[in-house]
Amino acid sequence: MALEEKEIKVVGMHCPSCVNAVQLSLTDVDGVEDAKADLDSGITKITLDSDKVSDADLAEAVEEAGFKVE
């Protein structure tokens, strides 16, 4: 278990429900503890277990919610 904080930039969010969708999809990933997305900047801070979660997992979760990682 190696908890780590990571920042990604999500593009395409334009309202609070977009933010919610991104956060929910990310926290749904096994090993993600927390996700906080900022609507204006797209900067999304994720607390995760780096033994379990790869960058590809994060990108996939964001895409499932209908957005993209820049």
Residues that bind Cu ion (CB under 5 A): 15, 17-18
CB-nearer residue toward Cu ion: 18 or 59: 18
In the chain, DSSP finds a helix count (H) and a strand count (E) of 2, 4
Least distance in Å: CB of 2 to Cu ion?
Answer: 33
Least distance in Å: CB of 49 to Cu ion?
Answer: 29
69 neighbors 8 (Cβ within 8 angstroms): yes
Least distance in Å: CB of 37 to Cu ion?
Answer: 11
CB-nearer residue toward Cu ion: 39 or 59: 39
CB-nearer residue toward Cu ion: 13 or 53: 13
Catalogue the long-range contacts made by 14-19 (C-beta closer than 8 Å, 24 or more residues apart).
14/39, 15/39, 18/67
Give the span between the Cα atoms of 31 and 22, in whole angstroms: 16
